[in-house]
């Protein structure tokens, strides 16, 4: 389609060139031609070449069927059809994301945009998580229970995840950082879930008290300050406030996030620029490409857990740029790192795997085909 626009622009320059060798002006421009899908061709060839005097279309000089059945489906539908076709062929999968992304950018309605996104992100669970992983055994240790709670959150079962944190499952008054991190992450997602369902009284009350702990679960009373001060955590607290009508409080929090400088191998890395984008006026957001370039450079030499976290950050940055299809593909790629291998998880089986799963679930939740 881009080639068609460039050809049209070149033709326009030739047709409008002056005949005399006077002062000549040249410029580069784009002319977008409307394009529609066609229906089936006519089954009976027209007879114009046989009887030129009866020709309805005198420019026709060949006895082949002519397509006149144009539909009302426009250019976005063409991207939908082409992207779907490419995804159906093994050799076309690498080209499909760019085609679908161009179609998303050209879509003139939310309905068409949602259809294109749905092609790029099938409604079924990721084959990495559903086919490669054997049935999960019931958790028997505090560490397994905390990990299971995160998996429940990434499957949309936030209430069930929060219910796992009991004194029976976590009897000791001190737990390792991984369990503390899982607990406070689940509490954050409870608030997001409340805000999403417009249960704002509980959500805002939770924002004010998060980290205070529960008397019935002793290890939660030791404080979570460092775990709650990260850019991602604070950004989502601001999102809860914003969704519940506390825009001023949200902007104050996002201002603080935008000034943070997380290290590149942290899942917090991308959130300062995301916060800056949330604060900016429409069309005046920050430049995200330098952040993306930095992550891409780090990925060239990264491995293990670091690679999974960098892929998560890259996916977040691509989504912030409006590139849904390649962004979601990075989260899928991150899941492949945490897949089961011979019954055991690969090295990156921690937070980045959970974070990628969570984003993909949220994308499916907003997909109209899954409602």
* DSSP codes of every residue in 87-139: HTSGGGTTTHHHHHHHHHHH--SHHHHHHHHHHHS-SSPPHHHHTSSPPPPPP
Average pLDDT of every residue of the chain: 76
Residue 151: predicted pLDDT = 93
Count the neighbouring beta carbons within 10 Å of the beta carbon of residue 66.
14
CA atoms within 13 A on the CB side of 346: 21
Give 105 or 253, the one with higher predicted confidence.
253
Given a cut of 70, whether residue 311 has pLDDT beyond it is yes
Phi then psi for residue 340, to 5 deg, are -75, 140
Give 112 or 323, the one with higher predicted confidence.
323
Residue range 77-103: mean pLDDT, rounded: 59
Give 160 or 93, the one with higher predicted confidence.
160
- Band (100; pLDDT cuts 50, 70, 90): low
* pLDDT tens string 247-305: 999 999 999 999 999 999 999 999 999 999 999 877 688 999 999 999 999 999 887 66
Residue range 66-71: mean pLDDT, rounded: 58
User: What percent of the chain shows pLDDT beyond 70?
Assistant: 59
Highest mean pLDDT: which of 51-55, 126-130, 193-197?
193-197
Residue 157: predicted pLDDT = 94
Residue 365: predicted pLDDT = 79
**Burial level of 341, CB count in 10 A (0-12/13-18/19+)?**
exposed
Give 356 or 29, the one with higher predicted confidence.
356
* pLDDT tens string 123-163: 444 444 444 445 566 788 999 999 999 999 999 999 999 99
Given a cut of 50, whether residue 99 has pLDDT beyond it is yes
Residue 345: predicted pLDDT = 43
Going from N- to C-terminal start, the domains of the chain cover 2-15+29-120, 287-371
């Amino acid at each position: 389609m881009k080639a068609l626009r460039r050809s049209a622009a070149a033709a326009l320059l030739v047709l409008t060139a002056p005949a005399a060798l006077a002062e000549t002006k040249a410029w580069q421009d784009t002319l977008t031609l409307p394009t529609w899908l066609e229906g089936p061709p006519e089954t009976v060839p027209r007879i114009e070449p046989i009887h030129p005097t009866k020709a309805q279309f005198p420019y026709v000089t060949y006895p082949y069927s002519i397509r006149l059945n144009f539909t009302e489906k426009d250019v976005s539908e063409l991207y939908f059809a082409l992207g779907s076709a490419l995804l159906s062929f093994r050799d076309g999968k690498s080209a499909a994301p760019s085609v679908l992304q161009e179609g998303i950018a050209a879509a003139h309605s939310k309905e068409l945009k949602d259809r294109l996104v749905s092609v790029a992100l099938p409604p079924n669970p990721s084959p990495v998580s559903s086919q490669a992983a054997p049935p999960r055994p019931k958790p028997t240790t505090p560490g397994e229970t905390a990990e299971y709670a995160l998996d429940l959150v990434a499957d949309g079962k936030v209430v069930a995840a929060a219910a796992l944190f009991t004194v029976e499952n976590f009897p000791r008054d001190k737990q390792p950082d991984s369990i503390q991190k899982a607990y406070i992450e689940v509490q954050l997602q409870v608030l997001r879930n409340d805000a999403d369902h417009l249960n704002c009284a509980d959500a805002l009350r939770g924002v004010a008290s998060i980290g205070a702990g529960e008397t019935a679960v002793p290890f939660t009373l030791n404080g979570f300050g460092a775990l709650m001060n990260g850019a991602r955590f604070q950004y989502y607290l601001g999102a809860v406030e914003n969704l519940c009508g506390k825009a001023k409080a949200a902007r104050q929090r996002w201002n603080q996030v935008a000034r943070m400088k997380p290290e590149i191998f942290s899942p917090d890395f991308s959130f300062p620029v995301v916060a800056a984008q949330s604060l900016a006026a429409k069309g005046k957001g920050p430049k995200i490409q330098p952040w993306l370039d930095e992550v891409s450079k780090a990925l060239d030499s990264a491995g293990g857990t670091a690679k999974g976290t960098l892929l998560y950050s890259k996916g977040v940055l691509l989504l912030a740029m409006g590139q849904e299809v390649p962004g979601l593909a990075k989260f899928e790629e991150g899941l492949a790192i945490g897949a089961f291998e011979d019954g055991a998880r690969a090295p990156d089986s921690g937070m980045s795997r959970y974070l990628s799963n969570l984003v993909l679930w949220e994308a499916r939740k907003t997909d109209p085909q899954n409602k």
